[in-house]
Amino acid sequence: MSQQLPQNRHEHRHGADGSTRLDSYVDRYAARTQGMTASEIRALFSVASRPEVVSLAGGMPNISGLPLDVVGEAISDLVANRGSTAMQYGSGQGDPRLREQICDVMRLEGIEAHPDDVVVTVGSQQAVDLVTRIFCDPGDVVICEAPSYVGALGVFKAYQCDVVHVEMDEHGLVPSALREAIAHVQATGRRIKFVYTIPNYHNPAGVTLAAERRPEILEICREADVLVLEDNPYGLLGFDEEPHRALRADEADGVIYLGSFSKTFAPGFRVGWALAPHAVREKLVLAQESATLCPPSFSQMAVSAYLEKHDWLGQIKQFREMYRERRDAMVRALDDMMPPAARWNVPTGGFYVWLTLPDGLDAKAMLPRAVTARVAFVPGTAFFADGFGAQSMRLSYCYPTPERIREGVRRLVGVIEEEVELRHTFGTGLGTAPTPRTPGLNRGYDGPTTDLT
Ligand SMILES: Cc1ncc(COP(=O)(O)O)c(C=O)c1O
């Protein structure tokens, strides 16, 4: 007999054990929805966005410096002169002119690509989704850095992948740890579908993969016949350096490269892309068509017009200077105020500092007290699929002004000092077991996979 939907909101309110349920559809959802839990970031947004709270939590780019007049003119010109194309369905692969321009952008990182191998996506977030959709069956292994981008972990969970974390240090992913993790997983007969890595100005760890490690990482993956998924939304946002050479620049077959205009232009257009080997590109287009028919024509043409008409590289330079000033404000405030037992890295680009608390403190447990003290951060556990990271937190300096960043750190230090004090008073019961000092240091690769809470 076919199942019928509940006739009114009060049906199915009680589970088999008689407990009251808030969601009367709970027995009907697909198994994959069990991996879809609200991230710490999401739960935080409602409180952290109150004006009295200094949010060091979100990774929103600060786009106040964008030339809105130039963008406005480009868009009105688009509507007036090419409106009927811009407002029509487009190609599943994306606008051909934009794909050419994307190749120009990637050339800055040493990538020589053909527009035919580019698929435009709804932000690089959708590219992560489409790649996972075409490669991963439930139970397949995806290797990620420890910690890793919360949005990608969410995708991997939604497709019921097993995430295996691999240690990073201040120079990024550790090649020997990657080799070991791959060998370990393969020895257990499980399939690794790809290594997901953010080589530049990592979210959330703030570190960058050292140039000398890049060929080694590629070699390890080539030998083990494992694809690399290179996610690079921050690559052009280095503070004092030229863009790093992309992994994809030296390996066309084994790497799928993801890029985005969210951090270098504006996230609201939701335009990102994947550059993939030819056969994979075809599958990605099919997946894109089934997901959205086509990426939005209007957004793509607006981004294309902006690139055409504006000094976008000059704009990126301005962004870099603004973010460098904020990074400096964050690091200076940490240097001046943090207790000596706390540790953090100094990022050379991007948006994030990864801070590890004095031993025994738990960032997640501390968060409600921090919000009461009007400062917010993201607890480290959000960036691990296996519950690690409790002693760490991600601090974003991209959005608040330098003065607000300093004030936020001052409030955070107050909360940490209170926690340390409480711990001294009440002993060791307050915190959790110590977790690694540098991002992912000493992380095992076969820890249990638990849901994020
Ligand atoms: C590492 C990483 N990948 C992907 C994304 C998604 O970006 P978008 O979908 O806006 O291109 C983000 C956003 O913060 C990110 O930090």
What is the pLDDT, as a whole number, of residue 104?
97
* Gap from CA of 424 to ligand 1 centroid (Å): 40
What residue's CA is closest to ligand 1, atom 14? Answer: 59
Flag residues of the chain having pLDDT under 70.
Answer: 1-21, 39-45, 48, 427-453
Dump strand ranges (E) for 54-191: 54-55, 118-122, 141-146, 162-169, 172-173
Global pTM value: 0.90
Instruction: From 41, 262, 303, give the residue whose CB has the most ligand 1 atoms within 8 Å, as the site to mutate.
Output: 262
Q: Are 430 and 423 in contact (CB under 8 A)?
A: yes
| pLDDT, position 449 | 27
Copy the structure tokens of residue 325: 């000033």
Residues 196, 148: contact at Cβ < 8 Å? yes
User: How many whole angstroms separate alpha carbon 158 and alpha carbon 67?
Assistant: 38
Round to whole Å and give the CA distance between 430 and 418.
Answer: 12
> Dihedrals φ, ψ of 61, to 5°?
-65, 150
Residue 392: strand pairing partners = 356
Q: Which among 203, 378, 396, 398 is the best mutation to test ligand 1's pocket, defined by most ligand atoms within 8 Å of the CB?
A: 203
Q: Is the dihedral of CA 289, 295, 301, 304 positive or negative?
A: negative
Rg (CA), the chain: 23
Structure tokens at 440: 């992912």
CA 202 to ligand 1: nearest atom: 1
The residue to mutate among 258, 261, 263, having the most atoms of ligand 1 within 8 angstroms of its beta carbon, is 263
Protein residues whose CB sits closer than 6 Å to any atom of ligand 1: 59, 123-125, 149, 151, 198, 203, 231, 233, 260, 262, 267, 272
Strands 378-379 and 392-396: what pairing? Answer: antiparallel
Ligand 1 centroid–CA 124 distance in Å is 6
Q: Please, are residues 151 and 128 in contact by the beta-carbon 8 Å criterion? A: yes
Ligand 1 centre to CA of 232 (Å) is 8
Measure the CA–CA gap between 283 and 100, rounded to whole angstroms: 20
Nearest CA to 224 out of 277, 179, 189 is that of 179
Give the other-Cβ count within 10 Å of 301's Cβ.
Answer: 24
Among residues 352, 348, 332, which one has the least CA distance to residue 406?
332
Give the residue, by CA position, lying nearest to ligand 1 atom 8: 123
Nearest ligand 1 atom, CA 267? 10
- Residue 226 gets the label, from left (phi > 0), alpha (psi -120 to 50) or beta, of beta
